[in-house]
Structure 1
Amino acid sequence: MQFSESWLRQYVNPDMTTEQLSHALTMAGLEVEETRPLAPPFTQVVVAEILEAAQHPDADRLRVCKVNAGGETLQIVCGAPNARVGIKIPCALVGAQLPPSEEGGKPFAIKLGKLRGVESQGMLCSGRELGVGQDSEGIMELAADAPVGQDIREHLKLDDTIFIIKLTPNKADCLSILGVAREVSAITGAKLCVPKIEAQKSSIQDKLKVTVENKDLCGRFAGRVIKGVNAKAKTPDWMVRCLEGAGQRSISALVDISNYAMLAIGQPTHVFDLNKIKGDLTVRWGRDGEQLELLNGQTVSVAPLSGQGVGVIADANGVESMAGIMGGNPSSVTLDTQDVYLESAFWWPSAIQGRSRRFNFSTDAAHRFERGVDPAGTVDALEYVSALITQICGGQLGPVDDQIVDLPKRSDVRLRVARAQKVIGVPLTTDVIAQLFDRIGLQYQREGNEAFVVKAPSHRFDIEIEEDLIEEVARLYGFENIPANPPVAEQRMQGTQEPKRGIHQLRHAIANRAYQEVMNFGFIDADTEEKLAGNTNPIKVLNPIASQYSVMRSNLIGGLVQNLKQNINRKATHVRLFEVGRVFQRNPEAQVGELSIAGYDQPVRVAGLAYGPAVPEQWGTPTRSVDFFDVKGDLEALLAPLEFKAEKTEHPALHPGRSAQISIKKRGKDINLGVIGELHPRWQQAYDIPGSVVLFEIDWAAIQDIGLPVINTISKFPAVTRDLAVVVDQAITVTQLQDAMKAAKQLLVKKIDLFDEFKPTAGRMGGMAENEKSLAFRITLSDESGTLQDTQIEPVISALLDAMSVKCKARIR
Structure 2
Amino acid sequence: MKFSEIWLRSFVNPACSSDELAHALTMAGIEVESVEPVASVFNNVVVAEILSVEKHPTADRLSVCKVRTGNSDKELLQIVCGAPNVSAGMKVPCALVGATLPGFVIKKTKLRGLDSAGMLCSAKELGINAVVDGLLLLPSDAPVGTDFRNYYGLEDSIFTLSLTPNRADCLGVTGVAREVSAITNAEIHPIEIRIVPNEIDDALNVQVIASDACPLYCGRVLRNINLSVPTPLWMIQRLERSGLRSINSIVDITNYVMLETGQPMHAFNLAKIAGSIQIRYALPHEKIQLLNGNQINLTPEMLLISDEHKPLALAGIMGGLESGVTYGTTDIFLESAFFSPDVISGKTFHLGFSSDSAYRFERGVDFSATRSALERASYLILTICGGQTGPVIEIKHKLPQRSPINVRTERVKRILGIDINKEQIGDYFKRLEFEFSEKDDFFNVVSPAYRFDLAIEEDFIEELARIHGYDHIPIHYPHANMAMLPESESQYSTMEIKQKLIDRDYQEVINYAFVDADWEADFVDNHKPVTLLNPIASQMNVMRSTLIGGLISNLQFNLNRKQTRVRLFEIGCCFIRDHENDCKQTEKIAGLSYGDFSSEQWGIQARNVDFYDIKADVEVLCRGKSVCFNKFFHPALHPGKSAEICFEDRMIGWMGELHPRWQKKYGLQKSTILFELDLDILKLRFLPLVKEISKFPPVRRDIAIIVDNDISTYSLIYCMQEVKSAIISDISLFDIYRGKGMESNKKSLAFRILLQDTEKTLTDEQAEFAITSLIKILKNKFGAELRN
Q: Give the alignment's TM-score, normalised by structure 2.
A: 0.69
- One of 476, 483, 489 as aligned partner of 2:474: 483
In structure 2, distance between residues paired with 1:73 and 1:344? 51
Note the C-alpha offset of 1:416: 0.5
Q: 1:455 aligns with which of 435, 442, 446?
A: 446
- Say whether the 8 Å CA contact 2:642–2:657 is kept in structure 1: no
Look up the equivalent residue of 2:31 and give its one-letter code: E
User: CA offsets per residue over residues 213-259 of structure 1, 9 Å max, x none?
Assistant: 12221110010111111222200000011111212111111111011
Equivalence for 1:556: 536
Structure 2 unmatched runs, 5+: 515-526, 588-620, 663-709, 718-729, 748-788
SS at match of 1:459: coil
Structure 2 residue aligned with 1:42: 42
- Which residue, 155, 164, 173 being the options, matches 1:168? 164
Q: 2:396 aligns with which of 373, 395, 404?
A: 404
- 2:570 paired residue number: 638
Indicate the structure (1 or 2) with the bigger Cα radius of gyration. Answer: 2
Question: Which one of the candidate residues 322, 327, 339 is aligned to 2:331?
Answer: 339
Q: Secondary structure at the match of 1:130?
A: coil
Q: For the residues of structure 2 that align with 1:749 and 1:34, how far apart are their CA atoms?
A: 62
What pairs with 1:741-756 in structure 2 (closer than 5 Å)? 753-754=656-657
CA deviation after TM superposition for structure 1 residue 673, in Å:
9.3
Q: C-alpha distance in 2, partners of 1:492/1:607? A: 39
Q: Provide the alpha-carbon RMSD of the alignment.
A: 4.6
CA contact (8 A) 2:645 2:654 kept: no
Moved more, 31-40 or 66-75: 66-75
The alpha carbon displacement at 1:453 in A equals 0.4
Deviations 1:725-774 (A, max 9, x none): x9x9xx99857888998899999999864589699xxxxxxxxxxxxxxx
Pick from 279, 298, 302: which aligns with 2:298? 302
Match of 1:370 in 2: 362
- Quote the offset at 1:113 in angstroms: 2.3
CA distance in 1, matches of 2:430, 2:42: 45
State the 1:482 CA deviation: 1.1
- Asked if residue 445 in structure 1 is aligned to residue 437 in structure 2, the reply is yes
Q: Of 95, 98, 102, which aligns to 2:101? A: 98
Corresponding residue for residue 322 of structure 2 = 330
The one-letter code matched in structure 2 to 1:354 is G
Q: Distance in 2 between matches of 1:733 and 1:483?
A: 61
| Cα gap change, 1:490 to 1:163, in 2 (>3 Å) | farther
Q: Secondary structure at the match of 1:180?
A: helix
CA contact (8 A) 2:645 2:653 kept: no
What is the match of residue 373 of structure 2? Answer: 381
In the alignment, which residue of structure 2 is the partner of 1:577?
none
Q: Compute the TM-score of the two structures, normalised by the length of structure 1.
A: 0.67
Alignment of 1:72-471 (within 5 A): 72-99=75-102, 107-135=103-131, 137-304=133-300, 309-448=301-440, 450-471=441-462
Deviation at 1:94, TM superposition (A): 2.1
AA at the equivalent of 1:463: L
2: CA distance between counterparts of 1:747 and 1:179? 71
- Deviation of residue 196 (structure 1)? 0.9
Identical aligned residues as a percent:
38
| Amino acid corresponding to residue 473 of structure 1 in structure 2 | L
User: Which shows bigger deviation, 483-492 or 198-207?
Assistant: 483-492
Q: Are the equivalent residues in 2 in contact too, given 1:231–1:393 (CA < 8 A)?
A: yes
| C-alpha deviation, 1:288, in angstroms | 3.0
Give the secondary structure class of the aligned counterpart of 1:64: strand
CA–CA separation in structure 2 for the residues paired with 1:444 and 1:199: 29
Mark the CA change 1:432 to 1:65 in structure 2 (over 3 Å): closer, same or farther.
same
Q: Report Cα offsets for 1:291-316 as digits up to 9, x if no partner.
A: 22221112223314xxxx22111222
CA distance in 2, matches of 1:58, 1:252: 39
- Distance change (3 Å), C-alpha of 1:212 and 1:469: same
Structure 1 residues 376 and 135, CA gap change in structure 2 (3 angstroms): closer
Partner residue of 1:614? Answer: 557
**CA-CA distance at 1:790 after TM superposition:** 4.9
Task: Specify the alignment match of 1:61 in structure 2.
Answer: 61
1:259-279 Cα deviation digits (max 9, x unpaired) = 100111111111111111222
User: How far apart in 1 are the matches of 2:386 and 2:9?
Assistant: 29
**CA gap 1:557/1:788 in 2 versus in 1, 3 angstroms:** farther
- The alignment partner of 1:199 has SS state of coil
Using a 3 Å threshold, how does the CA distance of structure 1 residues 60 and 740 change in structure 2: closer, same or farther?
Answer: closer
- Does 286-295 or 405-414 show the bigger shift? 286-295
Distance 1:496 1:276 in 2: 83
Q: 1:748 to 1:259 in 2, by over 3 A?
A: closer
1:494-530 superposed Cα distances (whole Å, 9 cap, x missing partner): 788989989xx9xxx9xx86779999xxxxxxxxxxx
CA distance in 1, matches of 2:454, 2:354: 26
Query: Which residue number corresponds to residue 773 of structure 1?
Result: none
Instruction: Tell me the distance in 1 between the aligned counterparts of 2:509 and 2:646.
Output: 37
Change (3 A) 1:276 1:607: farther
Q: How many residues align?
A: 618
Structure 2 CA distance for partners of 1:493 and 1:22, relative to 1, 3 Å: same
Tell me, yes or no, if the aligned pair for 2:637 and 2:659 is still in contact at 8 Å: no
2:33 corresponding residue in structure 1: 33
* 3-state secondary structure, aligned to 2:311: strand
Cα deviation for residue 360 of structure 1 reads 2.1
Q: CA deviation at 1:422?
A: 1.0
| 8 Å Cα contact 1:35-1:162 kept in structure 2 | yes
- Corresponding residue SS for 1:476: helix
Q: Is the 8 A contact 1:127 1:139 kept in 2?
A: yes
**Residue number among 618, 624, 642 corresponding to 1:712 in the alignment:** 624
> Unpaired runs of 5+ in structure 1?
100-106, 520-533, 539-551, 562-580, 584-605, 623-629, 645-661, 675-708, 760-777, 800-813
Q: Distance in 2 between matches of 1:400 and 1:744?
A: 88
Corresponding position of 1:524: none
CA gap of 1:174–1:493, structure 2 versus 1, over 3 A, is farther
Structure 1 residues 234 and 617, CA, compared in 2 at 3 Å: closer, same or farther?
A: same
Once residues 61 and 159 of structure 2 are traced to their aligned partners in structure 1, the CA distance between those partners, rounded to angstroms, is 40
Equivalent-residue separation in structure 2 for 1:796 and 1:378 (angstroms): 102
Shift of 1:380: 0.6
User: Which whole-Å CA distance do the structure 2 matches of 1:404 and 1:127 have between them?
Assistant: 46
AA of the residue aligned to 1:263: L
> CA contact under 8 A between 2:215 and 2:399: conserved in structure 1?
yes
Indicate how the Cα distance of structure 1 residues 200 and 496 shifts in structure 2: closer, same or farther if over 3 A, else same.
farther
1:399 partner amino acid:
P
Secondary structure at 2:418 match in 1: coil
- Are 2:776 and 1:785 aligned? no
Letter in 2 for 1:96: A
Q: CA deviation at 1:349?
A: 1.3
Measure the CA separation in 2 of the matches of 1:388 and 1:201.
13
> 1:770-809, aligned counterparts within 5 Å?
785-787=731-733, 790=736
Cα distance change of structure 1 residues 348 and 742 upon mapping to structure 2, 3 Å threshold: same
- One-letter amino acid matched to 1:341: F
